[in-house]
Chains A and B, each alone.
Chain A
Amino acid sequence: MDSSQLLKGVLDTAVLAVLENEDGYGYDIVRRLRESGIDEIGDATVYGTLRRLYAGGLLRTYVVPSEDGPHRKYYAINDEGLRVLNGQRKTWVTFAETMSRLLGVAATDSNKGKSK
């Protein structure tokens, strides 16, 4: 199964979850996603997702001045973003339980088939 396609479906949730813990700038968020195991999504997709979530009113931004380089635009989750994230969290738990149950049955059947 192509996990990158699965990830695209839940990338919004993953980005919101990363930002729930701590604000971050573009590449910082990409890095934290990769550290958490999501490494099959391109940088550009994450940057686009950030822009979309911001346009959708789920994130706010602020600029942090930098002496070494250009000022960094930081993203932070807002109340609306938290509300959406909590909703998605519940959906994910239900979905994951359903799929695990289903796949667990399927895996057993498959094993049974092989043992015949």
Chain B
Amino acid sequence: MTKNKADNISKFVSEVMRALEGRDSVTIAELTENLEADLRERQEEEGDAFQLGDSKVFAAELLQGAGLSGGINTASRLQRFVSEILWNIWSAISAIRPAWWVFRGLMAYSAIWFILLKQSKSVPGSPVEWLAFLGLMFASVQIGRANLKQWWARLPLAALNVLALLVGMFWVNDIVNVRNDYSRLKSFSESNLLIYQGQPVTFAFAYDKNGVPLPMTSLKTAGGNLMFAQPTEDALSPALEALKGKSLTEANWALAKMNVTASETLYESVPAEPKDRVLRVQKVSDGNGGWVVVLIVAN
């Protein structure tokens, strides 16, 4: 086929698509899919006898054959623009459908595991579990590829998809929680904080056998490593000043990092300030020779 004839076919297909403008993009794509290849094939078979004809008549015949009412190219520019955007969104969604089929299989495995054994599990362990896992994934992909059209098949499938989406939300939430826990533990392990049952210790007092508080400035391990120390007042002052204007969470976190173990929070009603904003920082005696940092926070 000469380049000129090939160009004519490309131009003809473009004209047909233009004549179909106003239809939704999915319809246009379905009606003109492989059209250029078909016309080229026909051109090669018929040679010089082949005639392309009128693109508008061709487009009208396409619509009539497809049982679509209305004429050609009647949509406004806005409708065509919206249609194009929808088509692009649909194309993007269609492109990731196989990934969804695999994910749906994974969710089916997680859901069945949870229903049968009341346990959360997403990665198989034994060969039988792997078999079930791969079987469900294969089934999900096959169902997706089947592209079911009948309503009685699509209805339960839609319900299953919604179910998979819900399970997926819990699944993602679990992953996020695990990641957050891991980040917190990592942060704790890298800090000088004293941790008890997963939480930073903000108060630590030592007592003798009679229950009398013992003066204490630091805690050390049996090997002599410092676990916990009261900061000196001189070093603390500028750092405490810097807490003003921070949120309560940020301030508490900063105090924990400074190894300040004794702190209290007082709330003060200041409508002009955002809630939980640190307004002032004070140091007051605890009555045992130590002191407590008091955060005055907007309520």
Q: Is the CB of A43 within 8 A of B42?
A: yes
With the chains together, A49 CA to B64 CA distance in Å?
Answer: 8
> Is A101 at the interface (CB under 8 A from chain B)?
no
B residues 16-40 near A (Cβ < 8 Å) are 30-31, 33-40
- Decide if A52 touches B147 in the complex (CB within 8 Å): no
Bound-complex Cα distance A46 to B62 (A)? 8
Give residues of chain A (47-82) contacting chain B, Cβ–Cβ below 8 Å: 47-49, 51-52, 54-57, 60-61, 69-70, 72-73, 80
Across-interface contacts of A30 in B (CB, < 8 A): 38, 42
Interfacial chain A residues near B39, Cβ < 8 Å? 27
How far, in Å, is B63 (CB) from chain A's closest CB?
6
Q: Are B149 and A57 in contact (CB under 8 A)?
A: yes
B residues 53-86 near A (Cβ < 8 Å) are 58-59, 61-68
Q: Could you tell me the distance in whole angstroms from the C-beta of A98 to the nearest C-beta in chain B?
A: 27
Q: How large is the interface on B (under 10, 10 to 19, 20 to 34, 35 or more residues)?
A: 20 to 34
Chain B: minimal CB distance from A43 (Å):
7
Find A26's partner among B38, B63, B68 (CB 8 Å cutoff). Answer: B38
B150 an interface residue at 8 Å Cβ cutoff? yes
A45 CB within 8 Å of chain B: yes
Query: Interface majority SS on A: helix, strand, loop or mixed?
Result: helix
Does A37 make an interface contact (CB < 8 A)? no
Residues of A within 8 A of B40 (CB): 69
Known: A42-B61, A57-B150. A52 touches B38 (CB 8 A): no
- Contact A44-B62, Cβ < 8 Å, known A26-B38, A57-B150: yes
- Please report B residues at the A interface, Cβ cutoff 8 Å: 30-31, 33-42, 45, 58-59, 61-68, 146-147, 149-150
12 contacts between A and B (CB under 8 A): A27-B41, A44-B58, A47-B35, A48-B31, A48-B68, A51-B30, A52-B67, A57-B149, A70-B37, A72-B37, A73-B34, A80-B150
- 3 shortest interchain CB distances as A-B pairs: A48-B65, A44-B61, A27-B38
12 A-B pairs besides A48-B68, A52-B67 with CB distance below 8 A are A26-B38, A44-B58, A44-B61, A45-B61, A47-B38, A47-B65, A48-B64, A48-B66, A49-B66, A55-B66, A60-B147, A61-B147
Interface residues of A (CB under 8 A from B): 11, 25-27, 30-31, 42-49, 51-52, 54-57, 60-61, 69-70, 72-73, 80
